[in-house]
């Protein structure tokens, strides 16, 4: 080959089409916005049903997680996400899908060694960082006298 690695890199990057951002970004914006609006509507319903503000927020998360898992189980989430991209990935629906998808996929290897072992294979880092951050936050909160 007449090209060195750097020249070849320039060659193949030019030959490789880039992601269609003009289509992907608005699709993500609209879907993400719709999911957030749905969350807000659910919160209004839960508040009207008599839940406290914080409890209503938790109920909204639970409802959206349920929705994400249900759509994953119905094999609809992957079709929606293919169109929506970050629009379904960034909200909590993406987290729900990331756990439900491997749980479903690996059930052929058994409930324990398949589903239970593999279900955190994608979402594991989110949990690790999420739990670590909350522990650090809790310690700081306690040190700064917040617990009193």
Partner 1 sequence: MRRKGDTVFFDEPVWVESCAAVGGKKEGEGPLGARFDETGPDNRFGQKTWEKAEKRMIELTCTHALSKADVLPTAVSCALGGDLLNQCISSAFAIRGLGVPYLGLYGACSTMAEGLLLGAALIAGGFANRTLCLASSHFCSAERQYRYPLEYGGQRPPCAQWTATACGAVLLRREKAKVAVTAATPGRIYDPGVTDSANMGAAMAQSAYETLRIYFRDSSTAPADYDLILTGDLASVGHGLVRQLFAADGTPLGENYQDCGMLLYGPEQDVHAGASGCGCSAAVLCGSVLPDLAAGRLKTVLFCGTGALMSPTSANQGESIPGICHLVRLEGGK
Q: Residue 2 gets which letter from DSSP? A: -
Helices (H), the chain: 5-15, 21-48, 53-73, 77-84, 86-89, 92-105, 117-118, 124-143
CA–CA distance, 116 with 28 (Å, rounded to integer): 31
27 or 56, CB closer to partner 1? Answer: 27
Least distance in angstroms from the C-beta of 29 to partner 1: 14
Is residue 56 close enough to count as binding partner 1 by CB under 8 A? no
State whether residue 76 is helix, strand or coil. Answer: coil
Is residue 22 close enough to count as binding partner 1 by CB under 8 A? no
Instruction: Give the interface size with partner 1 as a residue count (CB under 8 A).
Output: 37
Task: List interacting residues with partner 1 (CB under 8 A).
Answer: 1-3, 5, 8-9, 11-12, 15-20, 24, 72, 75, 77-78, 80-82, 84-85, 88-89, 94, 97-98, 100-102, 104-106, 108, 122
């Amino acid at each position: 080959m007449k090209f060195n690695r750097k020249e070849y890199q320039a060659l193949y990057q030019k030959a490789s089409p880039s992601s269609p951002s003009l289509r992907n970004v608005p699709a993500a914006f609209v879907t993400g916005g719709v999911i957030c609006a749905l969350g807000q509507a659910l919160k209004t319903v839960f508040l009207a049903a008599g839940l406290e503000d914080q409890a209503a927020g938790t109920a909204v998360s639970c409802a959206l997680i349920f929705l994400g898992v249900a759509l994953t189980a119905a094999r609809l989430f992957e079709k929606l996400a293919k169109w929506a991209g970050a629009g379904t990935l960034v909200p909590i629906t993406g987290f729900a899908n990331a756990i439900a998808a491997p749980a479903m996929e690996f059930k052929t290897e058994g409930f324990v060694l398949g589903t239970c072992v593999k279900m955190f294979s994608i979402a594991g880092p989110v949990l690790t960082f999420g739990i670590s951050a909350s522990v650090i936050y809790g310690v700081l909160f306690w040190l700064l006298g917040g617990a009193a």
